[in-house]
Structure 1
């Protein structure tokens, strides 16, 4: 499902466990959201590595730092030769020059994670300095 409105975009990629049938770029199990959500300040990907799956190459970036947010499963990420165990709830930021690779260490469970890329040192405001609380009361069309 995809919907684009004036002030928002919606994309529904489905269940992470179904991503193995998807190939975007060089890897299976990865869905980029930049185009479907019309993102202008970051790239976001939804990722699924199957049991004992791994990224088959090292990589780094020219300008973008990456934030890995692990949602399910267990694995390892290697950054500059250091191996770090990851599992549900783990988040890791990697600077552009950090040489990285990732693998799923489980024999039975997929590794599900989100990766957010944004230009390093470009954040100038965030929720507490950019957010505006409105006086308008909250209303929902459907109540439980």
Structure 2
């Protein structure tokens, strides 16, 4: 099992390295509910000390599907397809997805995903509490003067 590399950590940040996405299948975890081993999935909340989101890298082997459908109680999910193609299903409606597809699902949406391609599908899932984002993009930002250290 591959271990996440911590690059650096300080009071206001944590940086990690997962490695090449083609090596994602080297990560594995034990599912908290059904206790089955899941390969090709890695959660980022704990390694990055995140407090407002859970982000995960996920993979599906060629011609396979997530073995279950699921909902959430409080959190919406945004799926970002990075590699592969297949189908996504929400509430009984299936539609095609491919590299570059982005799907947001409300907590109550019954969701599942299938990889129809001949390559491993890789996708990100961003999970956050529904209706919690009060300010975003430039509304929540402020430019500051700072000296770049990479020069």
Q: TM-score, normalised by structure 1?
A: 0.90
Q: CA RMSD in A?
A: 1.4
Q: Distance in 2 between matches of 1:127 and 1:25?
A: 35
The yes-or-no answer on 1:114 pairing with 2:124 is: yes
Partner residue in 1 for 2:70: 59
Deviations 1:3-59 (A, max 9, x none): 321111111111222222322243321100000000100100011111112110110
Q: Counterpart of 1:89?
A: 100
Q: In the TM superposition, what whole-angstrom CA distance separates every residue of 1:80-122 from its partner, at most 9, and x where no partner exists? A: 111121111110000000001111001x211111000000000
Structure 2 unaligned regions, length at least 5: 32-37
Q: How many pairs align?
A: 140
1:67–1:92: 8 Å Cα contact kept in structure 2?
A: yes
TM-score, with structure 2 as normaliser: 0.86
CA distance in 1, matches of 2:64, 2:19: 20
In structure 2, C-alpha distance between the alignment counterparts of 1:104 and 1:92, rounded to whole Å: 15
